[in-house]
Structure 1
Amino acid sequence: MENAEPDWLTAHREKHPEDFEPRSSRRGGFRPGVSGNPAGRPKGSKNRKTLLAEELQKDGSELARVIKEAALAGDTSAMNLWAQRLEPPLRARAAAVEFELDPDKPLHEQANQVLVAVSEGRVDPETGRMLIDCIQSVAGIRAVDELEARLIALEEKQA
């Protein structure tokens, strides 16, 4: 059996021979390295996002009022939109804690004070971890300061 072309393809080939020409010989095709718009985008033209933002600035308060009224009337879609877009997202905040932390003690003893406060339930574990991370950051800063002071002292000795 030879590779016979289906009737619909033969009919299409006869009706639209340009679809079957090699791309390089087609009229109106893009050529490599040649822009279809050599002048580029016109200066001052705005994309859809910019146009939408400008419209929202003009009518934003009215739109917010309508959405708020719909939400208060029980429209769950409006409630969802209000919650997601118009109100800032809630952020987790650590509650204020009070416990004894002696700032004059060495950093490792301060970290131990935090661990004791966590173990006694005066500080929750997440807050304790954050406090120990802060103490560790201070330790790193102190180490850099000490290295800098030692380096300056060595340079002064050699000078």
Structure 2
Amino acid sequence: MAKQTELIQPEWKKGFVPKPAPTKWEAGMASPNPLGRPKGVLDKRTKVTRALMDDAPAVARVVIDAAMEGDMTAAGLVLSRCAPVIKSQAERVQFELNRDAPLAEQARQIMQAVANGEVDPDTGRILIGCLSSVAGIEAVTELERRILELESREVKR
């Protein structure tokens, strides 16, 4: 049997109970800062942005001058801000698609058109994505119909 030792406290510490540790703020508790951030106080990002904006015209002039002197990186940067980036556009395609078939069958038809070379793979991916969107819309519509039907049954009771 283990011998228990008794804790002997000095006279001045007898009956002392330490204060409980302060709790950390958790959702639902009163806000530790009820007034919030004072109006007009700027955060670090705003301060940095304002400092950069003060020098922006000078920086832009340096980049433009470098572009005019033949610096291709600077020229690319200037042109990227002046003209929009050219986006690829898919060509129009025509192939047989049974619109009355289930969506899964339509997806198979698109995949077959890609395999046959009638549709390029990017366009096929876009078309299948469109089918997926239609399927999501149909699912939401069906759920809405079912909910309305259940609610009407409940009201009739």
Give the TM interval when normalised to the shorter protein: 0.5 to 0.7
Q: Answer with 96-105 or 137-146: which moved more.
A: 96-105
The offset of 1:94, in angstroms, is: 4.2
The answer for the alignment partner of 1:115 in structure 2 is 111
The answer for the alignment partner of 1:20 in structure 2 is none
Distance 2:42 2:141 in 1: 52
Q: What runs of 5+ residues in structure 2 fail to find an aligned partner?
A: 1-37
The offset of 1:50, in angstroms, is: 0.6
Distance 1:155 1:81 in 2: 59
Q: What runs of 5+ residues in structure 1 fail to find an aligned partner?
A: 1-39
Structure 1 contact 114–131 (Cα < 8 Å) conserved:
yes
Change in CA separation of 1:143 and 1:73 when aligned onto 2, cut-off 3 Å: same
Q: Answer with 145-154 or 108-117: which moved more.
A: 108-117
Change in CA separation of 1:81 and 1:136 when aligned onto 2, cut-off 3 Å: closer
2:50 partner letter = T
Aligned residues: 114
Change in CA separation of 1:43 and 1:123 when aligned onto 2, cut-off 3 Å: same
The offset of 1:121, in angstroms, is: 1.2
Distance 1:77 1:93 in 2: 23
- Aligned residue for 2:109, secondary structure, equals helix
Does residue 1:144 correspond to 2:137, yes or no? no
When normalised by structure 2's length, the TM-score is 0.53
What pairs up with 1:1-159 in 2 under 5 angstroms? 47-56=47-56, 59=57, 63-64=60-61, 67-79=63-75, 81-82=77-78, 86=81, 90=85, 93-100=88-95, 101-159=97-155
Distance 2:132 2:42 in 1: 52
CA RMSD of aligned residues (A): 3.5
The offset of 1:139, in angstroms, is: 0.6
Q: Which digits, 9 at most, give the CA deviation of each residue in 1:81-115, with x for residues without a partner?
A: 4366x357847534233123454443223212211
Q: Answer with 44-53 or 116-125: which moved more.
A: 44-53
Change in CA separation of 1:81 and 1:129 when aligned onto 2, cut-off 3 Å: closer
Q: Which digits, 9 at most, give the CA deviation of each residue in 1:19-38, with x for residues without a partner?
A: xxxxxxxxxxxxxxxxxxxx
When normalised by structure 1's length, the TM-score is 0.53
1:98 partner letter = V
Overall identity of the aligned pairs, in %:
38
Distance 2:71 2:104 in 1: 56
Structure 1 contact 103–110 (Cα < 8 Å) conserved:
yes
Distance 2:118 2:72 in 1: 41
Change in CA separation of 1:51 and 1:99 when aligned onto 2, cut-off 3 Å: same
